[in-house]
Amino acid sequence: MLVPLLFLLAATQTVSREATPLRTACDGSSQEVARLNPGDAVSIRYALAGGDGPCYKVSADAGGRQWEGWLTAADLSDVTVFEKARSAGATLKARPPEPEAARPAGQTAVALPAGSGARLMKATELLNSNQPAEALAVAEAIIKEQGPQPDLLSFAGVAAQRGDRTAQAVQYFQQSLAMKTSPAVERMLASARRELESDRSSEKLFGMRFVFRYDTREVAPEQARSIVPLLDSEFNRISEVLGCRAEERIVVVVQTVDAFRRTTGAAEWAGGQYDGRIRVALLDGGRMGPEARRAFAHEITHACLANLGSFPAWLHEGLAQKLSGDTPPAADLALVKQMARQNQLPSLRRMSGTWSRLSPQHARVAYAAAYQAAEALFQAYGNEGARNLARNPETLARVTVELDRRVRQ
Write the DSSP string, 219-264.
S-HHHHHHHHHHHHHHHHHHHHHH----SSPEEEEEE-HHHHHHHH
Q: What is the pLDDT of residue 81?
A: 46
Check whether 399 has a pLDDT greater than 90: yes
Decide if pLDDT at 186 tops 50. yes
Q: Which CATH architecture has domain 112-198?
A: Alpha Horseshoe (1.25)
| Local confidence band at 111 (pLDDT 50, 70, 90 cut-offs) | very low
What is the residue type of 50? G
Query: Tell me, what's the pLDDT at 371?
Result: 96
Cα 363 to chain center, whole Å?
Answer: 18
Classify domain 203-308 by CATH architecture: 2-Layer Sandwich (3.30)
47-65 tens-digit pLDDT: 554 445 567 777 776 666 6
Long-range contacts of 278-284 (CB under 8 A, 24+ apart): 278/250, 278/251, 278/252, 278/253, 278/302, 278/303, 279/252, 279/253, 279/254, 279/255, 280/252, 280/253, 280/254, 280/255, 281/255, 281/256, 281/257, 282/218, 282/219, 282/254, 282/255, 282/256, 282/257, 283/257
Lowest mean pLDDT among 78-92, 247-261, 317-331: 78-92
Q: What are the backbone dihedrals phi and psi of residue 390, each rounded to the nearest 5 degrees, phi first?
A: -65, -35
1-88 CATH: 2.30.30
Question: Domain residue spans in the chain?
Answer: 1-88, 112-198, 203-308, 313-407
pLDDT at 8 over 80: no
Mean pLDDT over residues 229-251, rounded? 89
Lowest-confidence range among 41-45, 189-193, 400-404? Answer: 41-45
Indicate whether 4 pLDDT > 60.
no
Strands 41-50 and 11-14: antiparallel
pTM for this one? Answer: 0.67
**Cβ neighbours of residue 159 under 8 Å, at least 6 residues apart?**
123, 127, 132, 133, 135, 136, 139
1-88 and 203-308 share one fold: no
pLDDT of residue 269: 64
Whether the pLDDT of residue 324 is over 90: the answer is: yes
Supply the pLDDT for residue 187: 86
pLDDT of residue 331: 94
Closest CA to 300 of 214, 234, 373: 234
Q: pLDDT > 70: what percent of the chain? A: 78
